[in-house]
Amino acid sequence: MTARLALLLFLTPGKRSMTAPELALVAQAQRETVVCRGRRVVTYCWGHGPRRILLCHAWGGNGTTLGEFVPPLLARGYSVIAFDAPAHGASPGRISDMVEYVSTIGMLCEKYGPFDAAIGHSFGAGNLLWAHRDYGLRADKIVLIGCFVHGVWIIEAFGEALGLPPRVVKGMQESLASKYPGELVWERLSMTDMLKSVSAPLLVVHDHDDRAIPFAHAFQLREASRGPAELFATSGLGHRRVLRDRDVVRKVVEFICGSPTRDPSTEGGAAWVRSQ
């Protein structure tokens, strides 16, 4: 009973209100509702360029959480695809899980892919790698921001934060795995193992002061990559503000474009950056 109640809490994402710039970004998007595994998912598309970028938000986030990257990418001729995972943002529901999330990525790859690049933050970054290995995601470049090294680490960290005994956490794992027999195998949720199948250039972004996911995870991810990999480290930004940092936005866009970027204040993205 304790494991079932704890799992329910684990699978319930927090809700956050969108800021004024995020609401403005939603208003500019081509919005659509699709169905994946019987769940309705709201998707967003900005721009009409043939080169496409996929954005994967964190647990408790939504399609505009990585909105800082949209204006400079649009200015360079890319189109940007994002989504509200099940039970997140405008997508209905109270609970969701990583299989529903990663399946959504696979569906978007079928609809819009392959992608020139995929950017994931935290939970979205881990699922991005899982989708690359098992759900058909193809991206020429991959950006992981504040990513963790193993799915088991996530649920164990949750259990530790609540003071749950290991047997309860194990029960949570077994309960969720029984919902997806053969598909959700906790031992296979190693992001470092998944990177062994990735030859695309990789950029790992992580803040030294990230209290949600230790900075040490970033080193392990960079070292595990089979292709060229770079670590861009920041300080004083934590787990979420790193997404709104001017230098981070510039670095990610430069990595995707393959050339130095101009200052955002000359490209229409400054109001978005400064408002945060």
Number of domains in the chain: 1
Torsion on CA atoms 167, 169, 172, 177, rounded to nearest 10: -90
AA letter at 214: P
Indicate whether 23 belongs to any domain. no
* Domain CATH number, residue 227: 3.40.50.1820
Contact criterion met (CB below 8 Å) for 63 and 80: no
**DSSP class of 264:** G
For the stretch 184-201, pLDDT in tens is 999 999 999 999 888 999
| 260 pLDDT tier (thresholds 50, 70, 90) | low
In the three-class reduction of DSSP (H, G, I as helix; E, B as strand; rest coil), residue 22 is classed as: helix
The pTM of the full predicted model, rounded to 2 decimals, is: 0.92
Indicate whether 21 belongs to any domain. no
Indicate whether 178 belongs to any domain. yes
Indicate whether 152 belongs to any domain. yes
- Residue-range definition of the domain harbouring residue 171: 2-10+31-271
Indicate whether 22 belongs to any domain. no
Indicate whether 90 belongs to any domain. yes
Q: Phi and psi for 135 in degrees, rounded to 5?
A: -125, 20
Q: Which long-range contacts (CB under 8 A, 24 or more apart) does 97-100 make?
A: 97/11, 97/176, 97/179, 98/123, 98/126, 98/127, 98/130, 98/151, 98/184, 98/189, 99/37, 99/179, 99/180, 99/183, 99/184, 100/36, 100/37, 100/39
Stretch among 65-69, 212-216, 259-263 having the lowest mean pLDDT = 259-263
Indicate whether 140 belongs to any domain. yes
Indicate whether 49 belongs to any domain. yes
| 222 pLDDT tier (thresholds 50, 70, 90) | very high
**DSSP class of 150:** B
Strand order in the sheet with 30-36: 30-36, 39-46, 78-84, 51-56, 115-121, 139-145, 202-207, 229-234
